[in-house]
Amino acid sequence: MIVPMKKVLLLAQESDSRQALEELRNAGVMQICTAGTVSADAAVLAEKRNQAERILAELEKYESFSDRAGGITGAEILKKAAEAIDKRNNAEAECEKLRRRLLRLEPWGEFNRKLLDELKNSGVTVTLCEGDEEKFAEAQALDGFCCKEISSEGHVVYFALLGMSEPDRERFPGIVLAEDDDPVLLRNKLESVRALFDEAVRELELCSASGGALKKEIASINSDLEFQQAADALSEAGVVVYLSGFVPEPQIEVLREAAKANGWGLVIKDPDETDNVPVLLKDNKFTRIIKPLFDFLGVLPGYREMDVTAGVMIFFTIFYAMIIGDAGYGAIFLLIALGCKIKFRQKEALRTPLNMFILLSSATVVWGALSGSWFGIPGIPGISWLTDPKVKEGNIQFFCFLLAVAQLGMGRVWRAVHEGGLRSYVRHFGWTLIIVGNFILTLKIIVWQGAFPSFMYWVYGIGLAMVMLADVNWKDPADCFQFPFNVIGSFTDVLSYIRLFAVGMAGGCIAASFNNMGMDVWNASPWFIPLGILTILCGHALNIALAFMSVLVHGVRLNTLEFSNHTGLSWSGQAYKPFKKNNMEDK
């Protein structure tokens, strides 16, 4: 359920404003409505935090990264790592610059720049030129010059002209040497810069071994930033300062006790319709399992919307099982999840995600076993309702549409209860009847083709009458125009659930195809047995990857689009984030 929120106005003396913020943070129950502008101090802290997070991301790339503090402060890590990253980046840029210069000089081979300068001082000029064979022949015919070919590439000839003066650069283009354009010197310099690069990398590896200290420093910076943002949100009225925010209704007493202890004034009321109220979901052991999915998607229902966590969990589990579709895959996932749960049993953060994965994998094993699907191997028994070639496709399609009418109908019923009122009940039960009519229509068109039963027309007729009576605003032309399209849309919503059948069947066909390909290779020659096994393994690995993508595309879509449309969810909620101390600071 969505926890009710109270809007709070907190008043304190201006002279005690900092102490009031400290105590408010200790209470840890109020989400502050922050100021619309960003102060200079907050901007500095935000930039420091962003820099620290960028540096942490760099350190995490190294194998030596550790969450331990390593006896060094986060500020020291931040400073040393920033300097090392600058040194590494500068060395990398300088190496690239030197490599480009060496590449530019490469066609003219090895030469001693000091000797060239000595020749020039004595009146002999050496000019490095390039041109086609015709230009090279022309250079060889020049009076007063000695022409020497250095190298050639395709039709381009690189050559040197020696003379008592420089040749015409327009006729004989080449390069103008910089003062330090010496291949030997440049290579030596490149080695020195590479040494600096390697030194910077070693320094970063040392810093990464104490990554925990930097994480703690980031938590401290975040805490300072949140405190500064809270201070920026304070408004003054003479000797009084005040700020507003939201507190979960069950936590109001905690704030009241803090107010009594510190002499604050409180104004507590229900949020206004226009307030952007944060959302706190109260879960239980049952619904908590699906929370990692919502965290991954970054979605929450709005404050005034319904909490559909239980419904999403039930139907997403079924969708996942049908899309993966293979008991063998599910068994592998289940073993991996159970192994990780045992190995990482001390890591609280992994407990819920692993529980979710265990649930989804178990459901996949059940569905795959019932449908006789084990690694795409034919002939494995299941229940005849899902394995008999004569009826299984129709039965699975029927089950898909049954899921559609169950989930969409449930969404309409929930919405009617949530909104309340006779008009709402009439409206949403009317849409539920239309969904039932769509269900019957899809069965007769796709699954079991034949004449439409007469009661289908009664279901449609009563549903349409109820919707036209309670949902359509006949005074609004746009609403009247949109109504038939909404009816058509409800039909396509039901029809959309056929994707569960199509994707599951495609996965089974891909698995069987790779099995056949591997066996064909296997049977071609005993020498090809390893290649046949590799073909089968690679094929199943690809199929698993495609299945996971399908879950994200299709399984998530049915819940966040079709189901959400019928429950009226916009998923526009913002998570409740109270002003409180970060636990990381105390570690």
DSSP labels, 279-348? B-B---TTGGGGHHHHHHHT----TTS---HHHHHHHHHHHHHHHH--HHHHHHHHHHHHHHHHHTTT-H
Token pair 């020659």 is found at 525
For the segment 68-79, the average pLDDT, to the nearest whole number, is 84
| DSSP notation for 198-210 | HHHHHHHHHHHTT
For the segment 125-149, the average pLDDT, to the nearest whole number, is 87
Report how far residue 237's alpha carbon sits from residue 233's, in angstroms, rounded to the nearest whole number. Answer: 13
pLDDT in tens, 232-270: 888 888 889 999 999 999 999 999 999 999 999 999 999
Q: Evaluate if residue 174 carries a pLDDT over 80.
A: no
Report how far residue 271's alpha carbon sits from residue 574's, in angstroms, rounded to the nearest whole number. Answer: 15
Q: Evaluate if residue 316 carries a pLDDT over 80.
A: yes
Q: Evaluate if residue 71 carries a pLDDT over 80.
A: no
- pLDDT band per the 50, 70, 90 thresholds, residue 465: very high
Q: Evaluate if residue 390 carries a pLDDT over 80.
A: yes
Q: Evaluate if residue 585 carries a pLDDT over 70.
A: no
Q: How far apart are the first and last CA of the chain?
A: 33
Stretch(es) of the chain classified as CATH 3.30.70.2170: 5-70+209-269
Strands 5-13 and 156-163 come out as unpaired
Comparing 332 with 581, the larger pLDDT belongs to 332
- Structure confidence at residue 422 (pLDDT): 92
Q: Evaluate if residue 586 carries a pLDDT over 80.
A: no
- Among 583, 580, 585, which Cα is nearest to 254's? 580
3-state secondary structure of 194: helix
Q: Hey, which CATH number is domain 5-70+209-269, 3.30.70.2170, 2.120.10.80, 3.90.1170.50, 3.30.1330.20? A: 3.30.70.2170
- Structure confidence at residue 369 (pLDDT): 94
Q: What residues contact residue 204 under an 8 Å CB cut-off, 6+ apart?
A: 58, 59, 62, 81, 84, 85, 88
pLDDT in tens, 424-434: 999 999 999 99
3-state secondary structure of 60: coil
- Structure confidence at residue 155 (pLDDT): 85
- Structure confidence at residue 175 (pLDDT): 79
Q: Evaluate if residue 81 carries a pLDDT over 50.
A: yes
Q: Evaluate if residue 300 carries a pLDDT over 60.
A: yes
- Structure confidence at residue 414 (pLDDT): 92
Backbone angles phi, psi at 282, to 5 degrees: -95, 110
Chain mean pLDDT for the chain = 89
Its pTM stands at 0.77
pLDDT in tens, 513-549: 998 998 888 888 888 888 989 999 999 999 999 999 9
Look at the alpha carbons of 300, 305, 310, 312 in this order and tell me if their dihedral is positive or negative: negative
- Structure confidence at residue 587 (pLDDT): 43
Comparing 410 with 285, the larger pLDDT belongs to 410
Residues above pLDDT 90, as percent of the chain: 51
- Structure confidence at residue 583 (pLDDT): 55
- pLDDT band per the 50, 70, 90 thresholds, residue 62: confident
| DSSP notation for 402-452 | HHHHHHHHHHHHHHHHHH-SHHHHHHHHHHHHHHHHHHHHHIIIIIS-SPP
Q: Evaluate if residue 309 carries a pLDDT over 80.
A: yes
What kind and span of H or E run contains 265?
strand 265-269
Report how far residue 457's alpha carbon sits from residue 464's, in angstroms, rounded to the nearest whole number. Answer: 10
Report how far residue 471's alpha carbon sits from residue 491's, in angstroms, rounded to the nearest whole number. Answer: 17
Report how far residue 4's alpha carbon sits from residue 228's, in angstroms, rounded to the nearest whole number. Answer: 28
- Structure confidence at residue 176 (pLDDT): 80
Contact (CB, 8 A) for 137 and 171: no
